[in-house]
């Protein structure tokens, strides 16, 4: 969507005419397009975490991870979670598996909501809404897409539009051990880290495929702790402005 819509000028139009960034809980949450997508917590009473998931079998754990995050608080403020999934990630869970109150968006939502020039663009509205981007799990294919700047679904469009270095972005790779060991993987990971992504490396365990080795997504408790730590750091930085 980003390639076609940006080429038509829709996203560029939003950037030029949208509301300026603000120093609230969600840096750009004043955008008027949020109501169209019914994004949660329009009054910005919570921290906004965008949990993006791709087509790894570790997506089975997305509902549990969403629940852990949604039950958390940072400096007394709750955490509001919005899940964005690729079509292949949806093979491993359904919307009804997600905790109550957790919003869920897919590629279909991006295309169905935009009708004409001037309408808000979902991947930009999500960027404006969120305080933190978490991609968990990040499969091998999507890892390569991010490293090459591809944006051919809602998850990768959000990542391509994300203000790296100015708002936290965490990656949780998950793949077969030999896929993780491939020579192409380490340079891609290093490149993404150099751009401002934080890596939560995979762990060693017996994988769903039956093989044992490094490649499983980081433990959910560790992912949740890293998200909360990043939000606390963001809170301190805003307090110093």
Instruction: Report pLDDT for 112.
Output: 87
**SS3 (DSSP) at 112:** helix
Is residue 88 within 8 Å of 71, Cβ to Cβ? no
The question of whether 209 is a catalytic residue gets the answer yes
Per-residue tokens: 26: 């969600």
Instruction: Report pLDDT for 10.
Output: 35
| Structural domains for the chain | 2-173+199-240 (3.40.50.1950)
pTM: predicted TM-score of the whole model, two decimal places: 0.85
Burial status of residue 124 (CB atoms within 10 A of its CB: 0-12, 13-18, 19 or more): buried
β 47-53/132-138 pair status: parallel
User: Over its length of 241 residues, how does the chain's per-residue pLDDT go in tens digits?
Assistant: 444 443 333 333 333 223 333 333 444 544 444 445 678 999 899 999 999 999 999 999 999 999 999 999 999 999 999 999 999 999 999 999 999 999 999 999 998 878 888 888 999 999 999 999 999 999 999 999 999 999 999 999 999 999 999 999 999 999 999 999 999 999 999 999 999 999 999 999 999 999 999 999 999 999 999 999 999 999 998 887 5
First vs last C-alpha separation in the chain = 35
| Candidate list 52, 80, 157, 209, residue with the active-site label | 209
Instruction: Report pLDDT for 113.
Output: 78
Which uninterrupted H or E stretch holds 23?
A: none
């Amino acid at each position: 969507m980003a390639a076609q819509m940006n080429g038509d000028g829709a996203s560029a139009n939003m950037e030029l005419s949208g509301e300026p960034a603000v120093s609230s809980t969600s840096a750009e949450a004043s955008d008027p397009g949020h109501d169209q997508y019914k994004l949660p917590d329009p009054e910005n009473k919570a921290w906004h975490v965008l949990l993006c998931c791709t087509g790894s079998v570790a997506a089975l754990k997305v509902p549990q991870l969403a629940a852990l995050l949604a039950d958390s608080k940072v400096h007394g403020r709750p955490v509001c979670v919005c899940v964005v999934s690729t079509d292949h990630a949806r093979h491993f869970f359904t919307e009804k598996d997600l905790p109550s109150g957790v919003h869920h968006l897919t590629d279909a939502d991006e295309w169905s909501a935009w009708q004409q020039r001037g309408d808000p663009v979902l991947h930009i509205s999500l960027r404006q809404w969120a305080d933190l981007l978490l991609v968990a799990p990040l499969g091998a294919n999507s890892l390569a897409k991010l490293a090459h700047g591809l944006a051919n679904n809602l998850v990768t469009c959000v990542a391509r539009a994300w203000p790296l270095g100015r708002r936290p972005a965490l990656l949780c790779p998950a793949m077969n051990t030999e896929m993780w060991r491939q020579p192409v993987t380490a340079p891609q990971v290093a490149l993404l880290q150099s751009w401002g992504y934080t890596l939560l490396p995979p762990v060693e365990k017996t994988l769903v495929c039956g093989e044992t080795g490094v490649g499983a997504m980081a433990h959910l408790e560790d992912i949740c702790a890293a998200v909360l730590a990043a939000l606390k750091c963001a809170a301190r930085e805003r307090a110093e402005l």
